[in-house]
Structure formats: structure tokens, C-alpha cells
Amino acid sequence: MNGYEVIHEKSPAFYDRYERKGELQQQTHYCPGCGHGIVHKLIAEALTDLGLQDRTVLVSPVGCSVFAYYYFDVGNVQVAHGRAPAAATALKRSHPESIVIAYQGDGDLAAIGTAEIVHAANRGENICVFFVNNSVYGMTGGQMAPTSLIGEVTTTSPWGRRASNEGLPLHVCELLAALETPTYIERVALNDMKNIMKAKRAVKKALQIQKDGGGFSLVELLSPCPTIMKMDPVVARKWVGETLVKAFPLGVFRDRKPELPPDPKIPVKTVAEALEVEEGAPEIASPRRHHTRDLTVKIAGFGGQGILLMGQLLAEMALREHMEVSWLPSYGPEMRSGSAHCHVSLSHERIGSPVISQPEVLVAMNELSLHKFAASVVSGGLILYNHTELPVGFSAPQARIVCVPASEIADRLGSAKVANVVMLAALLEETECLPAESAISVLEATVKNPKLLELDRQAMKAGRDYVDTEIEVGAVSQPDGYSY
Amino acid sequence: MRQLCKGNVAIVKGAVLAGCRAFYGYPITPASEIAEYAALLIPEVGGTFLQAESEVSAINMVYGASSAGMRVMSASSGPGLSLMQEGISYIAGSELPCVIVDVVRGGPGLGNIAPEQSDYFCIVKGGGHGCYRNIVLAPSSVQEMFDLTILAFDLADRYRNPVMIMTDGYVGQMMEPLDIKMRKIEQPEKDWAVKGNAETKKNVITSIFLESDVLEAHVNKLEAKYQLAQELETRCEEYLTEDAEVLLIGFGIVSRVLRSTVDQLRAQGVKAGLFRPITLWPFPSRELCKTAEHVKSVMVVELNTGMMVQDVKLTLNGTVPVEFYGRTGGNVPAAEEVTAQVFARMSALV
């Protein structure tokens, strides 16, 4: 070539030789006259012009361009059918400095991948989507695409696409232009040099926008598929210009940076802070051990009575006393039906099943729970019932029943909310499973509102006092007069 | 330092300590809590949380983030896992590491949101297409939810393969003491990843190999990894198995019930023991064979109609009679119920 001035050469964004291919390493696998070759060239040249090659990650789809990574000397990720915008989203967010391109065909983007493209566009992902629309599935052998024209004969529309059966061709640019977030949407065609130069500018503009952090851009490229169309390459191009362009009007559908409302500020935490671990806090060498004892408790009542919280307080107390503990809430739809219960196991040994079918203690915060669960209490167990007396005709002869009107006491203290704390105090006093001061320290650590904390202190005292003064040792208010 | 922590929260905390800075998910009961907690914690430590438009998108975002070299996770349940299976196959085929949690709910179809173990086949045996395996971990306590999540990220990176955590709403909702030992967790250098820079420009992430021999070589390469994992990564726990005559086998929440059952049976003079697989794949076959050498019989208990029991039978290969007891629909048997089942089958078991 001596003596000739090089005025145009292959973009260095392409490999010199396509060594990832087994054979024919100096040509692409695309058919003669295929639009993919042109689109590849436009992208490669734009990457070179903008100096983006090293930063680029190309996401190639399922379709004829599945092997784009044979050609582009950039980072390459090949993805599942239709999911390029999802994968591109995560690639870009993982490395915001990278330039991420989703390269998709019409079946990939406009059929199986409609959800992904709409949502990536709506999130305003800072990626470029190059959407090659040739109105047909090329790689799989010429099936109908969502962009196939009315009357277009394909292997799966043998009489031509029928509007009554398959609907009308899907207009992706128009669809996405209905969203507020995208920055740039344009449809171009690869039918003649003039339009290819327009396409070149559109591709470069999209990449420039991403380089500048400008948001989501999509360029739809109307492209010939001579093989599937059974057309001469020149005729196929002409078909794009005369037929495809009529169905899919060219133009800019969006060209402005969206104005987005400001984001709330997210607090920055260290890992230890996030994990709620006090770094450097000394391990308690010799744990303060009060008298504690193993216990299984079921707490049941209405939602809103602090049932689950009461169980958590009990569990937290046992944790601080270096016991093993499990807390298991009632589960599923029941949570929404107004009832709630939880199981708490306190133990000095490793705990087996957290599901307590036969509790040693039942705390029944309402009558329904008393009826529902009393029979399950073990022989010699304890039932704490939130009332001054048992319902008429009720008995559970295997257990000791103590009536503690926790809700009434809480009302007198000024808040029905602390009925659970009144009952917790009664439970501690009756069972002596854990020291009461442990409950106070847990409340101090968890209740931030000083007024509520004071109320909780009063509730603890009231619950304890009630058991000490109102309940005779060994006395039980069973309707049948039975007493322990 | 011990803290009272919920199982689902412990998973997210384990992920944060393991260096996971990317979570892509989609809400589904009973796994939503993991996404909710990740939404709170992961951005606070500088990571990305994104609620995708579907589980299909979520798993492909996991694919993208993993391709980019991130420690990434997602969490879902039954129906969502079904949708993710194609993506998981791609992830395994492209040799990408990731961690996916399945908080199993009742099925098939919409089923219900209560605990089952009925995803055993679709998680442990594959679910997606092609010759691949998931490494599957089955925690049974809040501490294990945390510890096994960290292990899951290590195994995922070591084998460049998806690692599933198979759990259920009980272990997820349960609160127990969690002991977090703060430490720096080293992540391996991922020189295969595509990071959008000059150093990684040469890399390709793909699972397509058109030529028969090339694909076969790729499948064999994957299989060699799986053989290695079977050799090195089996984990299990045993309780009172040394002199056991009746061996109870269960995983996850069931193993907790069975531990209590063993105590109840022992109290009534039955020499019972518990074998608990922690890795469901690779299944701890060697360990089970050894333990089962001296037992008279085996009873497998699952929250399904009999799935892991197939692996137990394959492992024991007819050497020991194997009984099965299963509950479904969200019914978790009490220890007493299983004890009664053992006694009811005593003639078969002892």
C-alpha cells in the first residue's frame, strides 16, 4: 500500500483477527448484506472516536448477534434471551465508570424482553441500547417477530401476519417515549448512505450521553435481513427504505435530560454499625448469673396487644443471662386475622424444636387464646389469664391458673399498651425463671421514649405487686372450686 | 457479642460481613424480609439494592453483577425460584458465583406461605436445564443462617458456581442469639470478571459453545468441579449417633424437631440418634454410610412427600431399612408427633 494515504481503516475496537471463531477468522459470521455488520462498525468507530474502548462492556443477546464478542475488543458478557437490559443494569451499577451497551434484536427486546427494556428505560439506567429491528427472527430461521409487518410471511405466519391474530407491529421507540425518564430515543435506518450517516451520529450521540452520565438512550436501527427475506442484499436494503421505514417512521422521539426529583440521603455506616456490633466492646468474662431456669412459654392474644414483643422481651432477657433462647412467632395468614401468638424457649442447653406444642406456661391475653391453647399446657403447668376471673364453665384441671387483669391494670396506669409488660412482670414473679431487674435493663435498652419507659417501670411494678398481694400462694380461681 | 436476631436478618448480616454489596430481588412471602433488610443495610454500607421488575429480571441482574465481579445475592421463595431457574442455569453455565436464598413455602402452584421443604428437587437436583449442580446449604438456626451465608459466598467464589441457601419461614422468622465475630473476610481476586477496564477487556462471560466437542469439554470441566465439591464440601451434624439403633434424618427446621424427638425417645429407652445434612448437595453420603453402619433402621422426616429420602436410599443402597414420615401444607410436626410415629413403626424400625 506504499504511496497511498490511509484515509479510513478498521476500527481498533475490533479485533485484528476474529480468533474466537474456529474458522474464517477475517470475516464475520453475518450474511452478506446483513445490517449487523454495519451496526457493529458504527459502534466500533464511535467507541474509538470517543476513546471509550477500554471502558466498554458489550452485552450481547440471543439472536444473530449472540457472537458479537467474536469481534469487539471490549469486555463482553453474553446473556439470556431478552435479559440484556437487566444484566446491563447490574453491570453498570457495579462499575459506574464503565460504558455498558446492550445490543438487542427485535425478538429479544420487543418480545421476550419487553419487561426488562421498559423497566431499564423507566429507571433511566445510564446505558445505551442498540436495537436492531429487521422485522423477523433471523437466527432461529425466520419466525414472526413483534415488529413483523402486517401481511409479512414468516415461518410462523405462513399466510402473512394477521392483525386479528397477532396484533399490529410493536413500536418500541413510541412506547418508550411515553416514559419520562429516558434521555434519548431515536429510530434510524440502514437503507442508504445518507441514513447510515444519520445512524452513525445517533450511535455516537447515545454513547456520548452515557459518557457524560446523561441517562438512558436507545437507538432503533431498521435493518435488512436478505437471507430470511430471500432477497438480494441490494433489494433487501431497498425494502427497508421503501417498506419498513413506512411502518416505522424515522426520527428523534426524545432528546432531553430528564428532570428528576432529588433523592433522600442514605446514612453511611461502617460494617460493624450495620451489623449492630460494638467493636472493641469487652466480652463479659464472667457473666453475671442470676438464678434462671429452663422454661417453655406460649404467649397468645390479639394483634396489637404486644404479644410478639412480650415474647421478644423475655427472649432478650434470657439472652442477657447467657441462656440459650428461641422465639418463634405465629406465622402466615393468622398474622392478618387479628390473632397472634409466639413460642419462647429458655434453656441452659442447646434448644431442639422451637415449636412448642406443649408449653409449660401459657399466657392467654384474651379469652379466645385461653380456650384455644389451655388444653395443650403440660400437666403441672401454669396458665396466666388476662382477666379478673375465668370464663363461666372453663376449666383446665391439669394446670394452675392465675388470673391477672393486666389490661385493667394497664388502663389504670394510663396506657393499655403496657398490659404486656404487666403480664411479663407477673410471669417473672410466678415462675422465677429470670430476675425482674433483667427485665428493667432490657426495657431501658429497648424503649427510647422516657415517658413510655417510666410507664413500663410502673407496669413492671404493678404486675409484680398484683401477684404478690392479690394472688394467694397456691390459690387458684377455678370455677369448680378445685384448688392446688 | 451475642444479639437477639431473626433468621432472615441474620442472612443479610452475614452477606454484609462477607462483602456482598449487591442485592437484586423481588418481593415474595416469606422471603420478602430478606429483601427488605437488604434494602436497608446494603446501601448503608455503600452497596446496591434494586427491586427488579420480576424474579426473571432479578436473577439476570445477579448474572450481570456477578459478571462484573461483585459478591451478589438474591432471595426468593417457591414460585419466584421457579422463575429464576433459567437464569441459574446460565449462571452455572457461565461459571459465575452468586448466592441465592430460597425461603421455601408450600406448593405446588401458589400453594401457601407456610414452611415446607418441597423445593428439594428443584433446588438440590437442578431445576434449570443442562448438566449443572447447585451447592445447597440448609441452615437450622439463626447462627447458621449467618455462618452459612458467609460460607456460601466463599464456596460460590471457590467453585464459581451458584450456592443456594435452602431454608423456610420458621428458621427465617425465628429469633435466637447470634454471635457475630467481626473479621475481615478476604475475597479472591476475580481476574475473569468483566469490570469495564483495560485489564479485564479480554474477558468473556458466556455459556454458549456451539461445537459439540467444545461444549462437552466445558460440561466435563464443570463436572470435575462438582466431583471436587463432592469430595471436599460435604457437611453434616450428628447427635447421639454413636450407639444409635434408630437413626432419624432431617434437615433445616425438621432437624430441630428431630433433636427433641431423639431426647424423647432416649427418655423412653429407645436408642435414637440424629443425622442432619448441612449440605444437601453435595449430599454427605460418606458420612451417612459410616454412621448407618451400626444402626438397625433409618427414618427420614421431611416437610414434603419424600424427596431427600431418595438420596438417603441411594446412599444406603438397601443396607438398612428406610422409613419415611412427611408433612406438607405448612404443618411442622411437633417432636411428640414424630416420637409417636417412631413408636407406631417400631416393628419395622427395631
* pLDDT tens-digit map of A64-101: 999 999 999 999 999 999 999 999 999 999 999 999 99
pTM tops 0.90, yes or no? yes
C-alpha cell of residue A281 = 466492646
Task: Check residues B203 and A479 and name the one with the higher pLDDT.
Answer: B203
Can you tell me the distance from the alpha carbon of B111 to that of B205, in angstroms, rounded to the nearest whole number?
37
The conformation of residue A63, written as its DSSP 8-state character, comes to S
Q: Which residue in A91, A127, A268 has the most chain B C-beta atoms within 10 A of its own C-beta, making it the best mutation to test that interface? A: A91
Assign 3-state DSSP to chain B and report helix, strand, coil percentages, each to 5.
45, 20, 35
In the predicted model, is pLDDT for residue A286 greater than 90? Answer: no
- Which pLDDT score, from 0 to 100, does residue A303 have? 86
Can you tell me the distance from the alpha carbon of B235 to that of B238, in angstroms, rounded to the nearest whole number?
10
pLDDT, tens digit, for every residue of A354-375? Answer: 999 999 999 999 999 999 999 9
* Mean pLDDT, contiguous 10-residue spans, chain B (350 residues): 94 98 97 97 98 98 98 97 98 98 96 95 94 98 98 98 96 96 94 98 96 97 98 98 97 97 96 98 98 96 98 97 96 95 81
In the predicted model, is pLDDT for residue A471 greater than 90? Answer: no
From chain A, pick out residues whose CB is under 8 angstroms from the CB of B53: 115-116, 118-119
Confidence class for position A287, pLDDT limits 50, 70, 90: low
Mean predicted lDDT score pLDDT of chain A: 92
pLDDT, tens digit, for every residue of A234-284? Answer: 999 999 999 999 999 999 999 999 999 999 999 999 999 999 998 776 655
Domain architecture of chain B: domains with CATH: 2-232 (3.40.50.970), 237-349 (3.40.50.920)
Q: Do A90 and B334 touch (CB under 8 A)?
A: no
The conformation of residue A170, written as its DSSP 8-state character, comes to P
C-alpha cell of residue B98 = 452468586
Put simply, the chain A residues between 92 and 131 with a CB less than 8 A from any chain B CB are 93-95, 97-100, 115-116, 118-119
Confidence class for position A337, pLDDT limits 50, 70, 90: low
- DSSP string spanning B113-153? EEE--TTHHHHHS-SSSSS---EEE---SHHHHHHHHHHHH
Residue A294 in contact with residue A350, Cβ under 8 Å? no
**Radius of gyration of chain B measured on its C-alpha atoms:** 20
Q: How far is A73 from chain B (nearest CA, A)?
A: 7
ipTM confidence score: 0.96
Strand arrangement of the beta sheet that strand A75-78 belongs to: A251-255, A184-189, A217-222, A128-133, A99-105, A56-60, A75-78, B204-205
Can you tell me the distance from the alpha carbon of A454 to that of A436, in angstroms, rounded to the nearest whole number?
15
Nearest CB among B57, B174, B195 relative to A95 is that of B195
The conformation of residue A267, written as its DSSP 8-state character, comes to P
- Which pLDDT score, from 0 to 100, does residue A87 have? 98
Q: Is any Cβ of chain B less than 8 angstroms from the Cβ of A89?
A: yes
pLDDT, tens digit, for every residue of A92-144? Answer: 999 999 999 999 999 999 999 999 999 999 999 999 999 999 999 999 999 99
Confidence class for position A436, pLDDT limits 50, 70, 90: confident
Q: Do A319 and B169 touch (CB under 8 A)?
A: no
Domain architecture of chain A: domains with CATH: 35-255 (3.40.50.970), 291-470 (3.40.920.10)
In the predicted model, is pLDDT for residue A484 greater than 50? Answer: no
Residues 6+ apart with CB under 8 A from A118: A175, A176, A179, B53
- Which pLDDT score, from 0 to 100, does residue A23 have? 86
Confidence class for position A54, pLDDT limits 50, 70, 90: very high
Confidence class for position A205, pLDDT limits 50, 70, 90: very high
Nearest CB among B60, B182, B253 relative to A79 is that of B60
Nearest CB among B54, B58, B173 relative to A328 is that of B173
- Which pLDDT score, from 0 to 100, does residue A475 have? 46
